[in-house]
Amino acid sequence: MLDIWHAVASHIDIISPNIYREDFWSVCYEYARLDNPLFIPETVHNERSAAYVFYAIGQHSAIGFSPFAIDDIAEPESIVDDGSYGYRHTASLWREIRARVRGFSCELGDYRLQISFTRELAERVRAFWPGFPYESKVPAAGLIIAVENDKYIVAGTSFLLKSLPKDNFSSNVEILWVDEGSFRDGEWILGRRLNGDETGHGSWVYFDDKPRVHESCIIKVHSHPLI
């Protein structure tokens, strides 16, 4: 009905959806158009919205996102992974712990980024480390911005980020540094610098169930000739 609304009520600037359906992403696709920027004035008020906000902004450049009664989260234990990504690949938290988990990969800047959804991986890790600090209430979600070809700002929850060469075999890639931080009035406020076991010695960046922001610089350390 968007075309009809735009034709008969052209004085309306934005037509916005209240989204309570399970297929949140499909509603975003319908409303995010060149003539209708996406603004979500109302949506579910549970932890799933912590994932939805990254998707709405990152995929559809949403200009607003407002869960209903955001100050009154109810029944967080009822949230489940929607399983919309069927692709599976091997993710490794330590060399001795490997698991097949949901995720995907994409090229951004000079590298291929591999994103693993950590819910299943965490369960494997917990078998070796019962006190592993992970809560599986929030679905995996995130936003990755390439500010340079080898430098990224990453925000999100419940995923593992690994950087690989684009051709996947001619070179090795290592994370040079990872800083935690936040933005205040458009300025980056530096927090902790992560290293050692916190980044798998330059192999990956882990996002738990609490939204975090990392700025990381990624470099190639050496290349292997094809055999």
Which pLDDT value is given to residue 5? 87
Q: How confident is the model at residue 17 (pLDDT cuts 50, 70, 90)?
A: very high
- pTM for the model stands at 0.66
pLDDT tens, position by position, 112-165: 888 888 776 666 666 666 666 555 667 788 888 888 888 888 988 888 888 888
Question: Pick the residue with more confidence: 166 or 28?
Answer: 28
Structural domain spans, the chain: 2-72, 88-223
Which pLDDT value is given to residue 1? 85
Fold of 88-223: Chondroitinase Ac; Chain A, domain 3 (2.60.220)
The residue-averaged pLDDT of 46-69 equals: 84
pLDDT greater than 50 at residue 30:
yes
The answer to whether 134 and 208 have CB atoms below 8 angstroms apart is yes
pLDDT tens, position by position, 71-88: 554 443 336 344 555 445
The answer to whether 178 and 190 have CB atoms below 8 angstroms apart is no
